[in-house]
Structure 1
Amino acid sequence: MANTVWGSTNKPISAKRLAELLDSAVQVDGTIYIGYPILGTPDGAFPFDALLLSPTYGVIAFDIVEGRDAGDYQSRQDDIYAKLQSKLLQYPSLVKKRKLIPQINVVSYAPVVQDFSEDDEYPLLNDNNLIQFLTNLSEGDKEIFPKVAAAIQALTNIRKGRRKRVQLTPNSRGAKLQALNDSIANLDANQNAAVVETVEGVQRIRGLAGSGKTIVLALKVAYLHAQNPDWKIAVTFNTRSLKGQFERLVNTFVIEQTSEEPDWDNIHILHSWGSSSSEGIYYNFCKDHGLIYRDFRSARDNFGDGKEFNGACAEALKEVTRPKQNYDAILVDEAQDLPASFLRMCYSVLKPPHRLVYAYDELQSLTDTSMAGPEELFGIGKDKRPLVVFSPPTSGQARQDIILERCYRNSRPVLATAHALGFGIYREPGGLIQIFEQNDLWLDVGYRVKEGVLEDGSYVSLERTSDTSPRFLEEHSPIDDIIEFRAFETKAEQDAWLVDAIEYNIKHDELVADDIIVINPDPLKTRKNVGDARAELFQRDINSSLAGVSTSPDVFFESDVVTFTGIFRAKGNEAGMVYIINAHDCFDSRYPSYLTTLRNRLFTAITRSKAWVRVLGVGPEMEKLKEEFDRIKQHQFRLDFQYPSEERKKELRIVNRDLTQAQRGRVTRKVDELASIISSLEAGEVRIEDLPLNLRKKLKALLG
């Protein structure tokens, strides 16, 4: 049976009938696209009525007839064939001796036309003979099928990277990285649905970091723009450096689908906040409605630490009773990092039916639970009913809630290491640092129970599945090469090793400079900590940049440039080779509540890698972090541990409670004061007897 992906169609009745027919036919495999693809032609965008991509039967394009008159279906079939052939001939891997390797079949499907024709050249078919026609086709070349799918999905060019890669050695890192990109050049079924299926209202796309949401959103923008060139479409996000990435992706995909540059008057790629120097959704909302615009400092002064953007958006919404509805569609990336008031602002500036697509990472931060449901996010309307409610999936309709289940960035060893370190599964001494509030969230993020039970107080062994962490992501290199921890005695030794390794990557491994990012987990020390390594790279004729400092805040990668970055600008980006420096900063903290922040930074840094990661640090704490990683390896990248009891969870909940920067500072000062008092008691500078009796009693009661 074929999986159906629902795009926009002006032939809904016959299209639904075709989808149901193919879905019920057990002998037909693959994906049937309705209203997709859209191909660029000299005459502009050309949308297909339907297309079946089948590993068994190849490519079958459908001319759908809605009604009893088939008209000049022969000419329409010729036109469809010519356009599809012209598209596929552009890809050398699909051509041999000037001939197209995959076979293209074009049929007209007319469910209510009785006078059908099984002419081999121009088949006109209905429900009675379509399946028989398909099963009589000669089987296609299954080895070429993934390349055909990638070409039709418009992914082939983008997966080549930011520039053409020239390999000299078949087994070099550069060749492996290219092969890895080629392996993920096809959208899976859920990604396909997320691109093409568009609801008349709000749609949610969610999944693990690395599941392809950014590319899916860019493809969706191109699809919507090709279908509706007059629509005003906005794309918005939290991480400023995503702007350049979105511009590149959208430009590439629109050209693929329309053979024309995007109309940038109708596609706006905007940061969520914005400013007078760089437009954003919130900034434009304030400007359009004559409101006070608050920058970060003003918002913090008025709404408090950690509540800046939520407060600013909520304030602006409260001031406007009838917002100007400037957009036909808005797509939001990184919604997990944006407040509910911002999503409501996006909803308010949309014309009915409020086409809002918001995508978010499930559990990007290890302490997060899932985002609130749509009823809570968007609130209640004037009729006292929720503005947004998701309906259950219905046959023949686009889905409102799409889950991307597979992680295509991180291999099993990399992601399991990131989780084990982030949670402190094998930390000695001390054990767990944090844990999911809901035990079943482990299953949601791609683990399965190998042994034991996933219950409070019980032993459990968790491992990643091949479905959620595809094995090809780790088969390109030995595991000891995929992820490596190194401890150095001095920072100078660390920097020297880093520079030598990067030089070797570029001169011998056939990686290009922009395949490499270097992450310093402590954002306050990044500029200082990376200076020496960057200077030495410059002496070796290797260019580097410090993201957001030596480059525009809207740009993360530059061609032929190694990117150095702090942890915050690294979010949302990925690279083939990731170096994490000064990782010892993330091993421990005298303040338990701050340790979760440090381990979350390490988790985020490790999960930027789509091929190899090197975790570097200095001194005894790095040695201990390396030993913790060695225990992960000894357990074969499984998570084997005693699940915390409810009492222990309560303790972790208190330690990891949500504190503002000011509150965290007060806790830190009080801990330091208490440590000073204890030191004085131990040194005999102050005696227990010097303390008032009532204070001694309180201390005894508190400490048990």
Structure 2
Amino acid sequence: MNKVNFTRGINGKPAASQALEETLTTIEGLSGECFFGYPLIPTPEGRYFADAILVSREKGVILFDLVEGTEVGDYAARQDDLANKIEAKLKLHKELVKGRRLIPPLNVITFAPAIDAVDRLAKEDYPLANERDLAKILSAFSWQDSSDDLYRMTLSAIESLSSIRKSRSKREVSRPDSRGAKLKKLEDSIATLDRRQNRAVIETVEGVQRIRGLAGSGKTIVLALKAAYLHTQHPDWRIAVTFHTRSLKGQFKRLINNFCVEQSGEEPDWTRIRVVNAWGAPGGDERDGIYYEFCRVTGQEFHDFRSASNRFGGGDRAFDGACQAALTAVATPPELYDAILVDEAQDFAPSFLRLCYTMLKPPKRLVYAYDELQNLSGTSLPPPEEIFGTDDRGQPLVSLGDDPRRDVILQKCYRNSRPVLVTAHALGFGIYREQPKGAETGLVQMFDQPALWEEIGYRVREGRLAKGEHVVLERTDETSPRFLEDHSPIDDLVVFLQFGNEAEQNAWLVEQIKKNIKEDELRYEDIIIIHPDPRTARERLGPIRKALFEIGIQNHLAGVDTDPDVFFKTETSSVTFTSIYRAKGNEAGMVYVINAQECDGVGAGLASLRNRLFTAITRSKAWVRVIGYGQGMANLIHEFECLKQRNFRLDFTYPTDELLKKLRIVHRDLSPHEKQRLEQKKTRALELADALERGEITPDDLDAETKQKLLRLLGGGK
């Protein structure tokens, strides 16, 4: 069915835009993409944008000059100016030019819905239309030699976000079949954002907007471009971009800078658009943070990590407690920003999002993006009605309703190929993990809501997606584009390897990295080595790093040898080593997950270990190597082989509510102190069982109440 898709940017002409959208929707046989207030074009006179542009396979490029009232002014001069500027922009794309001629036809229409007698005002060769005669004017335009490829390239040039996805520096390759050449082709293929991403960038709602999607679906890019788009359209606004992983700071600054220069010809004004940490600390702009700024402006006590941990508890509780204390201490919070954009919202407690919300001027433009799966357990963020609370009348302050502009779901995964992504899910959830003795399932964890699987781009191949039911899930070509996996054999995309010991693993890894750089035409920044345990990363990565230095391969440990805000070194060629938490939000062509055996185990903390493995695998844009030694690695390889035999499909029985509850308890996270206490109690229970077995204690030695309690809890007496 032919239809026009609309992306509604800011053009300051709401009535005419609405009338144009309604009219284009009714024209039969017309299809394509229509953008309002976009693209932005840098010109010597400053920033410039088209009121509306329609890119159509049948018609070519139609530019619209919109008139809100009844005064058309010198509309012919406006049409000439518009056509010249857009033509100059399109001619920068070699693939759209033949000789000196632009291949897609370019036409301009002035659309004035408030004027009845447009014929009277129209000049020859300068079409002027209202709702009644737009279809007739459009019928005279056609694109004779159009093709799918030409249409796609024209659309890409109009959207003009193409340079955003390309690598930081030009990729030089000499062999067409090398890994470097494959990576270059891959990066070029995903240079253009898809329609959902594009709409998420350009369409801004008054109020709260939520963006959800898998790792690799482009949330960070969308958020950065959205911030830059708002900044170029409203240079006077005060905008903040914040996040959880500090190493994302450089990436955000680079993306925002590129977009602003490309769209407006000017660098961003970093005093108006701020890329800041969430927590922050005293020490100038580089160390500033949203929470610290709130405390500074309101004059209340600021808690750093140590004081927050002492007062509110360690881990995530520290920041949550600090934000809650800040919110309750201030009766009238300061309205400091026009827009705040939050990435990685799944890693923040709702109290931080509430803090951001209170710091906004009406209409409270808060955009928060999160990954439903980064915390695989499915204990995702609560709905906005719950996060932001209610007003005096008990009505929710924020409700997204069913407006797709307020609740954007990015289903396509552009970072990970289907085999890589499904491997991460299979091992993250323990889909093919052997059922431990006495357990009801081998699963480690599962979403509370089965429907989430479909939201993140899986479809049911067999069975039924419901609790207690058997189901087989697979990814589709629509949500996992084929080109992401077609560049290499499947057996090369994901490799699991077991070694005899750590030294053997390390020696193999050093040889592989050497080969990647010397033979595969991969650059230093195409390689990430991830160690899953943040506490021992420095010590365990040391011997590998030393061996690489000895053969002249520079490398660094992210956040230790670099500033905490830096992940990849840009000034020198250097391979990145990292612990799992610093890896979040970053990506590379070749990812090595080492000492992976540490992500296997039983009992408490297993869910967290599997989440680390999931996060590590999903850093890969092309190839991933999961390596380790010992029984733990053998177990992981067994799970991976089961997945491969089933052609990368997830085949399992969905846990019931009762079983889900058990999984959360059995595999829950414990602090080192809690783990120690659990081990002590297990030892005492074993000693009691041994003593009963040996006859050192008889059941009669236990008081009646204890005996009854043991029988009941162990299932012997209900």
TM norm structure 2? 0.92
C-alpha change, 1:276 and 1:118, in structure 2 (3 Å) is: same
Tell me, yes or no, if the aligned pair for 1:519 and 1:566 is still in contact at 8 Å: yes
Query: Do structure 1's residue 150 and structure 2's residue 179 form an aligned pair?
Result: no
User: Which AA in structure 1 matches 2:344?
Assistant: E
> Which residue of the partner structure matches residue 286 of structure 1?
295
**Mapping of residues 307-318 of structure 1, within 5 Å:** 307-318=317-328
Distance in 2, matches of 1:333 and 1:699, equals 48
Distance in 2, matches of 1:157 and 1:402, equals 23
SS at match of 1:143: helix
Q: 2:252 aligns with which of 240, 243, 246?
A: 246
Task: Report the more deviating stretch, 5-14 or 100-109.
Answer: 100-109
> Which residue of the partner structure matches residue 554 of structure 1?
565
> Which residue of the partner structure matches residue 185 of structure 1?
191
Q: 1:588 aligns with which of 598, 601, 625?
A: 601
Query: Do structure 1's residue 574 and structure 2's residue 587 form an aligned pair?
Result: yes
1:520-569 deviation per Cα after TM superposition (whole angstroms, max 9, x unaligned): 11111110111111111112222111111011111111232211111111
Query: Do structure 1's residue 485 and structure 2's residue 496 form an aligned pair?
Result: yes
Q: CA RMSD in A?
A: 2.2
Q: 1:230 aligns with which of 229, 236, 240?
A: 236
How many angstroms does 1:351 deviate by?
1.2
Tell me, yes or no, if the aligned pair for 2:598 and 2:609 is still in contact at 8 Å: yes
C-alpha change, 1:265 and 1:619, in structure 2 (3 Å) is: same
How many angstroms does 1:111 deviate by?
2.4
> Which residue of the partner structure matches residue 360 of structure 1?
370
SS at match of 1:234: strand
> Which residue of the partner structure matches residue 378 of structure 1?
388
Q: 2:133 aligns with which of 125, 129, 132?
A: 129
Distance in 2, matches of 1:604 and 1:672, equals 34
1:27-57 deviation per Cα after TM superposition (whole angstroms, max 9, x unaligned): 2222111111111112221122011123443
SS at match of 1:70: coil
Query: Do structure 1's residue 350 and structure 2's residue 360 form an aligned pair?
Result: yes
> Which residue of the partner structure matches residue 439 of structure 2?
none
C-alpha change, 1:411 and 1:690, in structure 2 (3 Å) is: same
How many angstroms does 1:185 deviate by?
1.9
> Which residue of the partner structure matches residue 91 of structure 2?
89
Q: 1:299 aligns with which of 305, 308, 329?
A: 308
1:188-211 deviation per Cα after TM superposition (whole angstroms, max 9, x unaligned): 222121111111211111122211
Q: 1:43 aligns with which of 16, 38, 45?
A: 45
User: Which AA in structure 2 matches 1:264?
Assistant: W
> Which residue of the partner structure matches residue 108 of structure 1?
110
How many angstroms does 1:241 deviate by?
0.6
**Mapping of residues 193-232 of structure 1, within 5 Å:** 193-232=199-238
> Which residue of the partner structure matches residue 443 of structure 1?
454
**Mapping of residues 399-410 of structure 1, within 5 Å:** 399-410=405-416
Distance in 2, matches of 1:47 and 1:661, equals 57
Task: Report the more deviating stretch, 184-193 or 416-425.
Answer: 184-193
How many angstroms does 1:403 deviate by?
1.6
Q: 2:660 aligns with which of 628, 649, 659?
A: 649
Distance in 1, matches of 2:683 and 2:291, equals 40
SS at match of 2:109: strand
SS at match of 1:223: helix
Distance in 2, matches of 1:30 and 1:643, equals 41
How many angstroms does 1:234 deviate by?
0.5
Tell me, yes or no, if the aligned pair for 1:543 and 1:561 is still in contact at 8 Å: yes
Give the aligned length.
Answer: 696
Q: 1:692 aligns with which of 698, 701, 705?
A: 701
Tell me, yes or no, if the aligned pair for 2:588 and 2:620 is still in contact at 8 Å: yes
> Which residue of the partner structure matches residue 615 of structure 2?
604
How many angstroms does 1:255 deviate by?
0.5
Distance in 2, matches of 1:410 and 1:169, equals 24
Distance in 1, matches of 2:689 and 2:335, equals 62
How many angstroms does 1:98 deviate by?
4.6
> Which residue of the partner structure matches residue 138 of structure 1?
143
Distance in 2, matches of 1:355 and 1:254, equals 20
Distance in 2, matches of 1:84 and 1:192, equals 19
> Which residue of the partner structure matches residue 519 of structure 2?
508
User: Which AA in structure 1 matches 2:503?
Assistant: A
C-alpha change, 1:186 and 1:510, in structure 2 (3 Å) is: same
1:378-426 deviation per Cα after TM superposition (whole angstroms, max 9, x unaligned): 1123444322222443xxxx92222212111111111111111111111
Distance in 1, matches of 2:368 and 2:430, equals 32
User: Which AA in structure 1 matches 2:291?
Assistant: Y
Q: 2:424 aligns with which of 405, 410, 418?
A: 418
Distance in 1, matches of 2:390 and 2:473, equals 40
1:87-106 deviation per Cα after TM superposition (whole angstroms, max 9, x unaligned): 23333444444544433322
SS at match of 1:271: coil
Distance in 1, matches of 2:151 and 2:687, equals 69
User: Which AA in structure 1 matches 2:431?
Assistant: I
TM norm structure 1? 0.94
Tell me, yes or no, if the aligned pair for 2:374 and 2:611 is still in contact at 8 Å: no
1:64-122 deviation per Cα after TM superposition (whole angstroms, max 9, x unaligned): 12222322111111111222122233334444445444333222222233234887842
Task: Report the more deviating stretch, 541-550 or 451-460.
Answer: 451-460
Runs of at least 5 residues in structure 2 that lack an aligned partner in the other structure: 437-441
How many angstroms does 1:481 deviate by?
0.6
C-alpha change, 1:132 and 1:181, in structure 2 (3 Å) is: farther
Distance in 1, matches of 2:421 and 2:526, equals 20
Tell me, yes or no, if the aligned pair for 2:473 and 2:651 is still in contact at 8 Å: yes
User: Which AA in structure 2 matches 1:332?
Assistant: V
Distance in 1, matches of 2:245 and 2:683, equals 35
Runs of at least 5 residues in structure 1 that lack an aligned partner in the other structure: none
Q: 1:22 aligns with which of 15, 21, 24?
A: 24
1:556-615 deviation per Cα after TM superposition (whole angstroms, max 9, x unaligned): 1123221111111111111111110000111213xx121111111111111111211110
Tell me, yes or no, if the aligned pair for 2:471 and 2:653 is still in contact at 8 Å: yes
Q: 1:453 aligns with which of 464, 482, 486?
A: 464
Task: Report the more deviating stretch, 210-219 or 61-70.
Answer: 61-70
Task: State, as a whole percentage, how many aligned pairs show the same letter.
Answer: 54
Task: Report the more deviating stretch, 562-571 or 149-158.
Answer: 149-158
1:137-170 deviation per Cα after TM superposition (whole angstroms, max 9, x unaligned): 1243431333333333332222221111112112
> Which residue of the partner structure matches residue 273 of structure 2?
267
